[in-house]
Amino acid sequence: MGGKQDGRQKNRLEYSAINAGVAMVAQALIIVAGYISRVVFTRTLSASYAGVNGLFAGILGVLSLSELGIASAMSYALYRPIAENDIPKIQAVMKLYKRLYICVAAFVGTAGLGMLPFLGWLAGDLSAIGHLELIYLLYLGNSVASYLLMYRGALITAHQKAYIVSIYSTAFSLAQIILQIILLLTTRNYIAYLLVSIVGSLLCNFCISRLAGRMYPYLGEKNDHELPPEEKQEIRRNIWALAMHRLGAVVINNTDNMLLSRFAGLVSAGVYSNYYLVINSVRQVLTRVFQGMAASVGNLGATEDREAMERVFYNAFFIGQWIYALAAICLYELLQPFIELSFGAHYLFDRSVVLILCVLLFLQGMRNAVATFWYALGKFWLDRYKALAEAVLNLVISIFLGSRYGVAGIFMGTILSMLLVPVWVDPYMFFHHCLNKSPVAFAKKYAGYLLVIGLTWWLVDVVCGQVTGSLVRVLLVRMAICAVMPNVLFLAAHFRRKEFRNAVSLAMSLLKKRNGAPRHMRAADVVGADTHENKQEKH
């Protein structure tokens, strides 16, 4: 019995390493290719097309709210039957998954067509754009078709083989990007550019769907299996809770482009899309740090006491504040010369807007440690209405400030809604429901980190402001300053902290693991380095 369990554990570790490694490489390739494509896009088409691209992506992002978190709820429902090799139960879950996504596709198609009369109001000045309705219908058709094909890929991912989906997606995306670049350079035709994106997306989803059918032939079998009523009720409850969270994410992440188009013009939405490309690429890479912890945190919550969980949380939060502060500072100093060098001076925002965007990245990142623990411990039902409150506040404040202050006001609305709700509600809920402690000590520690970050940011900005010369020289010298100066100042401020010593232990442990340390060491033990010596993995 023990040997078999060890073997299963080894497979989980191997799959986790493969999934994470392939995802990181794939993401890096897509980021680089996407950047090159974006440069070509802005050099061959007008800024209005970039604005249309961002606007329609935002509209369809809002319509995707109808998905309601179905993917997360259904993936969760698959884990147990897969572990127990319960084929009839898997078939029943996938049948329900298909039905739900057909309903979503029908809703998105109907609601999307209902948006057609309002395109002019949302987009503002459209004199430079032809065939706007056709472009929108192409976007909409791609979105609807994807729901009819993509659900089968979730079964591959649920079997811990997400790397297969990553390989397929990356291969199709790279081929699509290369073809789009060739078309832009030779024809400068936005419709052709868009058709390549749609065909590539449909082919990718179709191939993954076919692959899932070959890997799991029972998907093609006719079956009359249905989930028990109590399990359907549990899925509905999870979907409802996740829908509230999804609403908040959709409103925050997808309404900015629409508000920019309405209050600042279509060109401003196009300018923002370039900044978003860079900032979101950095955000996606950093998010991997916490995504990799999720499974270990869930295990920690089930097997360890609250004191151990608290220590691990503080260590994770310390690492998070360091890397997100470093990212925000670097982006603030490097974005302007990088954007101007890549896309041209006419694609620059005012530096005050860049500051707001970088502060927003930092605040969003600082939520990751709490969110990782909260969701890994299955607590999303408790704060379902918090996300709705944040969404309403964000929309109201952004509209109010955007109508008065333009671009800066729209993003300030996002920051204010975050400060009013999740920045303090998230840690309060975590400490109250998961640790049974007051969050006062955490608030003091957070304030200390913010003081160090603020002072460091100011000093780095003063030094970077002295750099002059060509854009290339400014970018390279500032890059060197940002790579060294913030880290030195953070080190000077934190080297006596227990969390810093634990972070060093984490790095040393990872190096030892690469050189043959025991494979059963858990990520949660390493992050909680101050206690891992006394914890022995039980098989």
DSSP state of 517: -
Q: Quick one: which H or E segment has residue 81?
A: helix 70-83
Instruction: Determine the Cα–Cα distance for residues 259 and 108; give it in Å rounded to an integer.
Output: 21
Q: Are 42 and 347 in contact (CB under 8 A)?
A: yes
- Report the chain (539 residues): mean pLDDT per 10 consecutive residues: 40 53 72 82 75 69 61 73 82 85 84 80 60 81 77 79 81 90 88 85 87 86 77 77 73 72 74 84 76 52 66 86 94 93 85 93 88 72 79 88 88 90 88 87 93 96 93 94 96 90 72 50 42 38
pLDDT of residue 179: 93
Q: Are 66 and 108 in contact (CB under 8 A)?
A: yes
Instruction: Determine the Cα–Cα distance for residues 248 and 385; give it in Å rounded to an integer.
Output: 9
Tens digits of residue pLDDT in 485-531: 999 999 999 988 888 888 787 667 655 655 554 444 344 443 444 44
Give how far the C-alpha of residue 528 lies from the chain's centroid of Cα atoms, to the nearest Å: 25
Half-sphere exposure of 305 (CA within 13 A, CB side): 3
pLDDT of residue 26: 75
Nearest C-alpha neighbor of 33 from the set 167, 131, 142, 179: 179
- Kindly report the pTM of this predicted structure: 0.68
pLDDT of residue 20: 58
How far does the chain reach from its first CA to its final CA, in angstroms? Answer: 9
pLDDT of residue 353: 92
Instruction: Determine the Cα–Cα distance for residues 389 and 406; give it in Å rounded to an integer.
Output: 23
DSSP state of 449: H
Q: Which two tokens stand for residue 278?
A: 């860079």
Tens digits of residue pLDDT in 234-268: 777 777 777 777 777 766 666 776 787 777 776 77
Instruction: Determine the Cα–Cα distance for residues 520 and 538; give it in Å rounded to an integer.
Output: 10
Q: Which two tokens stand for residue 195?
A: 């058709």
Nearest C-alpha neighbor of 74 from the set 153, 154, 163: 154
